[in-house]
Each structure stands twice: as structure tokens, then as C-alpha cells.
């Protein structure tokens, strides 16, 4: 909490310029989600694609005009990173569905895939198929990339069984970096799949989602958000709560945009004329109006210009079991 306030108030021109380019209003307090989804991706983009010294220069610079120029350059790099990521992810998801439909894991190598963004793609593919996934790009004669796992599947144990095929690797049970010779990719893929079959002979654990608390949607309001504000910042060791809502019936058709994203509005509460706005990212088709569904949500402030309002982020949904 103190660190977030200090970050906004410390007077560093580089932070101010980067926040403005990222669309964080100057009057709002910076939240952990702003760091995760707005500040950090722009700082990381240059290291993924080009020169990692650029954000260092930004943070050490005192001239705001120079900082603004660097921040805009980082923003353009981040847009390029997103474009590259979308292209690789689309191809990877199509190949995974065709090549690994019946396998317990996924290994994909692309000669034209940028090694700097494959970790992000691995996370996306792993979540989409609920399988431990390794995505590799080419760098000379080497294949370099990242692995991402799912709950209860230890990626380190899998890699240990295939270590004789790897040049360098390291990480933890849920994520690891890896490099090997491109000529060994096929053998590694075979070893990886066989290791998963040996370690998990009954198949991978079914996907699950831990709900912090079940609530009525009438309980979602500004007083709850003020309580949640006292729990910030969320992150490793202090996970953001995921709330469950039972038998929610949307009254309006959701607004679908992008790749599986949609905006929606919860039913109006007794104390208000309109329901709370909601958004979902990469969840595919939204619930139909009139359909009773159970929702897993995160609840936070959404900032727009000089104002803020409550917003739910839909984590997942299912036909109601209430």
C-alpha cells in the first residue's frame, strides 16, 4: 500500500510519463492492477523485443520531455509485442487443437516465433486447453521458450525426466524457461508427453476454481470496495479475492468485442436503477439474457478520467447449479 502511494508521489518524471501514456489518470491512486497490466508490460516490452536499457534510462531521466519520448517508444513497442503475441497465439491454438487434442500436454515450436513473447503465449494456450504447455521459438540453432503448467501438475518433475535433451532450463512447478537444440525438439516432445502420462496415469486433474466467498449480487457496492481497498496490494502471497454469484440472470444482451471479450451489466439492485457494469476477457460466448448462471468474479474500481465506478471482471461462468 505504501509502495503504491510512494510510486505515484515520488516525483519521478519517468513514472509520470509512463503512467500518462498508459492511460492512468493523474488524479487517481495507482493500484496493483495498474502495475500488472499497464506499467509492467510497457517496461518489459523493450526487453522482450529490443533494448532492455530503455526503461532504465526512463527511470533515471529527470527531463520530462525526454521521458515522454521514451514512454511513447515503450508504448509502441508494447503494441508491437501485443500484435506479435496475437499472431503466434492464434497459430499455436490452432496447431494445439489439431496436434495435441488427445495428449496430456502441448509442445509447439515455430521457426518464426519470437522467443521474447512465447512465455505469454504459453500462458494463454495452457489456460485455453487446461494442459501444461511449452512454446518454443528459434534463435539460431537453438529452440528457446517457456513452459506454463496447470494446477497440480509439476512442470519441474516433467522437465527433470527430459533433462538429457535440454541445454538450459529452470523455474518452478508452474512456470519454467527452457532451451534446447532445434534438432532435439521432436525427441523432447515425445519425452514430455510420455513423462506426463507416467506421472499422471489417471489423467490430469479436472480444472477447478477456488471461490473466496459466495455472495448475493446486492452485496456488491462501494462499501465492499472500500473494505477491499484496505487489503491492497494484491499479488503473490495476497491473492485478489474471487467472489461467487449464484443464479444470476442477465437482463440485457452482452456486447461482444475482440477475441472472446464481452461487456455486460448485472441486474439492477434494489438500491439503484442500473446494475453494476461487468467485463470479461477471452471467455468466448457470453450468457444469454434470461439464462440463470453462476459467476466467478473479481470486484474493483474502474477509473475513467477523474471519476471511478464499481466494475466486476468475470473470471468464469457456468449454467446455474443453484
Domain 100-199 has CATH 1.10.150.120: no
User: Could you identify the residue written with the cell 503512467?
Assistant: 19
Any idea which of 69-83, 106-120, 212-226, 269-283 has the lowest mean pLDDT? 269-283
pLDDT digits (tens, 9 = 90+) for 115-132: 889 999 999 999 999 999
- Sequence-separated (6 or more) residues with CB below 8 Å from residue 22: 34, 38, 39, 42, 75
End-to-end C-alpha distance for the chain, whole angstroms = 37
Confidence (pTM): 0.80
CB 321 within 8 A of CB 291: no
User: Does the bond joining 78 to the residue before it have cis omega, within 30 degrees of 0?
Assistant: no
Q: What's the rounded Cα separation, in Å, for the pair 156 and 153?
A: 9
Q: What's the rounded Cα separation, in Å, for the pair 240 and 212?
A: 9
- In 100-177, where does DSSP find H-type helix? 118-129, 155-161
Domain ranges of the chain: 2-81, 100-199, 213-319
Q: How many CB atoms lie within 10 A of CB 4?
A: 16
Residue 315 confidence (pLDDT): 96
Q: Angle of helix 13-21 relative to helix 64-99, nearest 10 degrees?
A: 50
Residue 171 confidence (pLDDT): 92
Average pLDDT over residues 189-195: 98
Helix (H, G, I), strand (E, B) or coil at 255: strand
pLDDT digits (tens, 9 = 90+) for 138-180: 999 999 999 999 988 999 999 999 999 999 999 999 999 999 9
From the CA atom positions of the chain, what is the Rg in Å? 22
Could you name the CATH architecture of 213-319?
Beta Barrel (2.40)
Of 43, 78, 17, 22, nearest to 303 by C-alpha is 22
Amino acid at each position: 500500500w505504501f509502495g503504491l502511494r510512494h510510486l505515484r508521489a515520488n516525483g519521478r518524471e519517468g513514472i509520470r510519463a509512463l503512467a500518462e501514456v498508459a492511460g492512468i489518470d493523474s488524479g487517481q491512486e495507482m493500484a496493483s492492477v495498474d502495475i500488472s497490466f499497464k506499467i509492467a508490460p510497457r517496461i518489459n516490452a523493450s526487453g522482450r523485443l529490443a533494448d532492455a536499457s530503455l526503461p532504465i534510462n526512463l527511470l533515471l531521466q529527470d527531463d520530462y520531455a525526454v521521458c515522454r519520448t521514451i514512454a511513447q517508444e515503450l508504448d509502441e513497442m508494447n503494441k508491437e509485442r501485443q500484435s506479435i503475441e496475437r499472431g503466434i497465439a492464434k497459430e499455436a491454438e490452432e496447431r494445439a487443437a489439431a496436434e495435441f487434442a488427445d495428449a496430456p500436454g502441448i509442445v509447439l515450436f515455430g521457426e518464426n516465433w519470437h522467443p521474447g513473447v512465447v512465455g505469454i503465449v504459453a500462458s494463454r494456450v495452457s489456460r485455453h486447453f487446461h494442459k501444461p504447455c511449452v512454446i518454443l521459438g528459434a534463435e539460431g540453432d537453438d529452440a528457446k521458450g517457456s513452459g506454463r503448467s496447470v494446477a497440480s501438475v509439476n512442470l519441474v518433475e516433467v522437465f527433470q525426466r527430459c533433462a538429457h535433451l535440454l541445454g538450459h532450463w529452470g523455474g518452478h512447478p508452474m512456470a519454467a524457461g527452457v532451451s534446447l537444440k532445434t534438432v532435439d525438439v521432436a525427441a523432447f516432445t515425445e519425452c514430455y508427453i510420455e513423462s506426463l502420462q507416467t506421472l499422471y496415469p489417471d489423467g490430469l486433474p479436472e480444472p477447478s476454481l477456488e471461490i473466496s466467498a459466495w455472495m448475493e449480487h446486492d452485496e456488491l457496492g462501494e462499501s465492499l470496495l472500500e473494505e477491499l481497498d484496505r487489503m491492497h496490494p494484491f499479488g503473490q502471497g495476497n491473492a485478489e479475492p474471487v467472489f461467487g454469484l449464484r443464479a444470476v440472470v442477465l437482463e440485457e444482451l452482452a456486447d461482444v468485442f475482440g477475441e472472446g471479450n464481452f461487456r455486460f451489466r448485472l441486474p439492477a439492485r434494489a438500491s439503484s436503477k442500473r446494475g453494476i457494469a461487468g467485463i470479461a476477457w477471452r471467455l468466448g460466448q457470453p450468457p444469454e439474457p434470461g439464462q440463470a448462471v453462476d459467476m466467478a468474479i473479481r470486484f474493483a474500481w474502474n477509473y475513467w478520467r477523474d471519476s471511478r465506478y464499481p466494475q466486476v471482471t468475470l473470471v468464469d461462468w457456468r449454467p446455474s447449479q443453484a
